[in-house]
Amino acid sequence: MKNLPKLVVPIGVVGIVLLLVVPVPSFLLDSLIICNIMLALVILLTTMFVRKPMDFSVFPSLLLVATLFRLGLNVASTRLVLSQGFAGDVIQAFGHVAVAGSVIIGAVIFLILVVIQFVVVTKGAERVAEVGARFTLDAMPGKQMAIDADLNAGLITDVIAKQRRAEVAGEADFYGAMDGASKFVKGDAIAGILIIIINLIGGIATGMMSGGLSITDALSKYGILTIGDGLVTQIPALLMAVSTGMIVTRSNAESDLGSTASNQLTQSRTAITIAGVAAIGMAFIPGMPIVPFIVIGGLLLFIGQRIKTKKKAEAVAAELAAVNAVVAPTETTDDLLEQMRVHALEILLAPDLVDMVSGASDDLLGRVRALRRKVAMELGVVVPPVRTRDNVELPPSTYSIRIAGVEAGRGIAPAGKVLALGDLLDALPGTSTVEPVFGLSGKWVPAEMRHSAEMTGATVIDRVSVLVTHLSSIISNNADRLLSREDVRVLVDGVKTINPSAVDDLVPGMLSLAELQRVLQGLLQEQIPINDLGRICEGLTLRAKVSTDPEGLIEAARAALGPALAAQYLDGTVLRVIMIDPLLEQSMLEGLRPSEQGTQIMLDGARLEAILSSLKSSVAMVEEAGKSAVLVCAPQLRPAIHRLVSTQNNGLPVLSYQEATAAGSTIETVGVVRGESALAA
């Protein structure tokens, strides 16, 4: 019984093939005809209740099987009609009852059904399927790029990205299959016409030649059976054609077709009321039936009144909710303290952006939770909960990201629009802008123009993704500020549970939590993950026995991480480096002096300016080649040089010689910092 569902279709297809060659009795044919009609009806109703086409992805294959089933029934019924002059009670009933036993009436009804199916439904469905397939295939690259952008920004996980890619590929396959399957419906309509003509000619010939009937009697007998046969197959064929049109015109929705149509048709009370008045007015046109118009008009007016009552109740409920929201409960001391507290991380939204936290599947709060997990995995920092609230002082469509109450970034995310990034956006309506993280030129275009933007080759990003990407960049650049002492305590306690020996000797015996926090913040300032806290503590233990100087502790922690420092900058197995001229490096070593902020390189302003200018030129040459590099120097110089260039050259990474070679990679020198003119001066 478990394998029965998977065997139903294969057995059915084999049965259809047998139906083409093996005669069947009339009672079995009646059952199969009824099954055919009910199958078409079930498929039609299913297309009405699915929320999106992909929920019924088996439809193209099912359409082929159903079409083959109807053709098999045509062959079986034709065989019975011509051989026995009787093809079962169903065909007999359709031939005598449905068309009143008249060949002419039956032929007219049959032709009308064919015209409806072939000219109206099938033709339209075929065109919609063709256009849908082409647009879906053209939009695939843009959708894939959007998924990659969300994945790279940490907005989605690998599992979700894989699932979304599969949905995009499945959607393209579905519409491509529907484009081909619509040809089955068209061919079925043509076959229906040809089969009834062949049956009629064959029936008349059989009646006259084998049965000895006159042409009039043969036409009367076999014409009725042929029309009945045509109707019992054409009706389910029409249902399948309507199902095809229904599935290809169905857009993604949150409810079934009936609920969606009901909600949208009753959204305007004025329209329904005017229609009701018009219906009542038409009742008084001379010659028009009064009762039907009055009844229908009254029903429309009743529906319009119900809509008015419903909207009034909704307005009262909304007003009560607003009053309840305004009337705050009695504030306690704890409430005031909570309002006074400065939150570590906040997102302020303009009033017209509050829909971004509505709780939908891709809402802001859910994406922020995913971002916190991503940052924890990559940097080893547990980002504090992000407080999200509205702020009436912000301009429309604006959001602000704050760290410890101070604004760290601001951007816009207009409602009803998406951000298109590309070079061919001039033809699209919208507002030009600059993406806040990477500085890319783009344009905020209406959401309904998303497909048009993708057709130009642009990468289209929804506004929630824009905000979360901006938030991710700010968190990465300010991870050291977000690492609190309580966070350090939690991290240390976590290491104790799995590696107690790495922590027991260090904290609090050699270093306090405050000193360890300072070391970890120094690592995060250079975008170095601290998730390997056990190894960091082991390196600090050895250094703390000699000195607790913060700079020395940070360098000891870096040394403990070893190859992991250079690994994040590798291009395959190659590490591209910018070196310092040996004579210049020696001069820097001689000018190295300790200070309260750490070691400093004591050189005159002109020399420092020349060094930074030379470094900037080397970095520019590397970036023009589409590559990236790190600056390497002697270990003693590394902290001082990092402080010197940290505000220059977009935060160029600085590694010592030992750190650069620890990963065992191939070193490729792509630039040298010289500064000869300054040295000569």
pLDDT digits (tens, 9 = 90+) for 365-397: 888 888 888 888 888 888 888 888 888 889 999
Candidates 251, 604, 603; CA nearest to 448 is 251
Q: Collapsing DSSP states into helix, strand and coil, what is residue 559?
A: helix
Q: Are 621 and 629 in contact (CB under 8 A)?
A: no
Residue 678 confidence (pLDDT) above 50: no
Cα separation of 654 and 643, whole Å?
10
Bridge partners (DSSP) of residue 403 are 345, 406
Q: What is the rounded average pLDDT of the residues 99-103?
A: 60
Is the full-model pTM beyond 0.75?
no
Cα separation of 195 and 202, whole Å?
10
Span 114-172, pLDDT tens digits: 777 666 666 666 676 676 667 666 667 667 777 777 776 666 777 788 888 887 777 77
Residue 114 C-beta-side C-alpha neighbours within 13 Å: 19
Phi, psi of 273 (to 5 degrees): -65, -45
- If residue 412 lies in a helix (H) or strand (E), which one and from where to where? strand 406-412
Of the pLDDT bands very low, low, confident and very high (cuts 50, 70, 90), residue 202 is confident
Domain ranges of the chain: 9-255, 266-319, 340-480, 483-561, 569-680
Residue 210 confidence (pLDDT) above 60: yes
Candidates 397, 372, 399, 371; CA nearest to 469 is 371
Span 536-555, pLDDT tens digits: 998 899 899 888 888 899 99
Q: What angle do CA 542, 545, 549 make, to 5 degrees?
A: 95
Give pLDDT, residue 400.
Answer: 94
The residues, ordered by sequence, that sit 6+ positions from 354 with a Cβ below 8 Å of its Cβ are 390
Cα separation of 149 and 132, whole Å?
25
Give pLDDT, residue 170.
Answer: 75
Cα separation of 402 and 386, whole Å?
10
Cα separation of 477 and 286, whole Å?
80
Residue 360 confidence (pLDDT) above 60: no
Give pLDDT, residue 411.
Answer: 92
SS (H, E, C) 55-115: HHCCHHHHHHHHHHHHHHHHHHHHHHHHHHCCCCHHHHHHHHHHCCCCHHHHHHHHHHHHH
Q: What is the rounded average pLDDT of the residues 222-249?
A: 74
Residue 56 C-beta-side C-alpha neighbours within 13 Å: 26
Give pLDDT, residue 385.
Answer: 87
Bridge partners (DSSP) of residue 666 are 574
Candidates 185, 190, 40; CA nearest to 121 is 185
Query: With respect to CATH, is domain 340-480 assigned 3.40.30.60?
Result: yes
Candidates 617, 656, 651, 614; CA nearest to 634 is 656
Cα separation of 394 and 408, whole Å?
15
The residues, ordered by sequence, that sit 6+ positions from 476 with a Cβ below 8 Å of its Cβ are 375, 379, 527
Residue 510 confidence (pLDDT) above 60: yes
- If residue 331 lies in a helix (H) or strand (E), which one and from where to where? none
Bridge partners (DSSP) of residue 402 are 346, 407
Q: What is the dihedral of CA 15, 16, 22, 24, to 10 degrees?
A: 90
Give pLDDT, residue 326.
Answer: 47
Cα separation of 347 and 679, whole Å?
49
Q: Collapsing DSSP states into helix, strand and coil, what is residue 520?
A: helix
Structure token pair of residue 159: 């599992």
Query: With respect to CATH, is domain 569-680 assigned 3.90.226.30?
Result: no
**C-alpha to C-alpha distances, 623 to 101, 178, 573, 673, nearest whole angstrom:** 85, 47, 19, 16
What 8-state DSSP symbol labels residue 263? H
Residues 362-390 as b or e (16 or more Cβ within 10 Å = b): eebebbbebbbebbeeebbbbbbebebee
Cα separation of 314 and 562, whole Å?
64
The residues, ordered by sequence, that sit 6+ positions from 108 with a Cβ below 8 Å of its Cβ are none
Structure token pair of residue 505: 């000797």
Please name the residue that has the structure tokens 């009033």: 351
Residue 641 confidence (pLDDT) above 50: yes
Residues 162-199 as b or e (16 or more Cβ within 10 Å = b): eebbeebeebbbbbbbbbebbebbbebbebbeebbeeb
Span 303-318, pLDDT tens digits: 877 777 776 666 666 6
Give pLDDT, residue 677.
Answer: 44
Q: What is the rounded average pLDDT of the residues 248-262?
A: 61
Cα separation of 384 and 376, whole Å?
11
Candidates 592, 585, 524; CA nearest to 558 is 524
Comparison of pLDDT for 398 and 204, the residue scoring more = 398
Give pLDDT, residue 259.
Answer: 66
Give pLDDT, residue 361.
Answer: 45
Kindly report the average pLDDT of the chain as a whole number.
79
| 61-65, 197-201, 598-602: range with highest mean pLDDT | 598-602
Give pLDDT, residue 367.
Answer: 85
The residues, ordered by sequence, that sit 6+ positions from 231 with a Cβ below 8 Å of its Cβ are 94, 95, 98, 99, 106, 109, 110, 113
Structure token pair of residue 427: 């033809």
Sheet with 406-412: list strands edge to edge: 387-390, 345-349, 398-403, 406-412
The amino acid sitting at 372 is R
Least confident range of 92-106, 388-402, 420-434: 92-106
What 8-state DSSP symbol labels residue 396? T
- Classify domain 483-561 at the CATH topology level: Helicase, Ruva Protein; domain 3 (1.10.8)
The residues, ordered by sequence, that sit 6+ positions from 56 with a Cβ below 8 Å of its Cβ are 46, 47, 50, 247
Give pLDDT, residue 681.
Answer: 39
Cα separation of 496 and 535, whole Å?
12
Q: What is the rounded average pLDDT of the residues 661-672?
A: 87
Least confident range of 152-156, 240-244, 597-601: 152-156
Residue 327 confidence (pLDDT) above 50: no
Residue 252 confidence (pLDDT) above 60: no
Q: Are 248 and 242 in contact (CB under 8 A)?
A: no
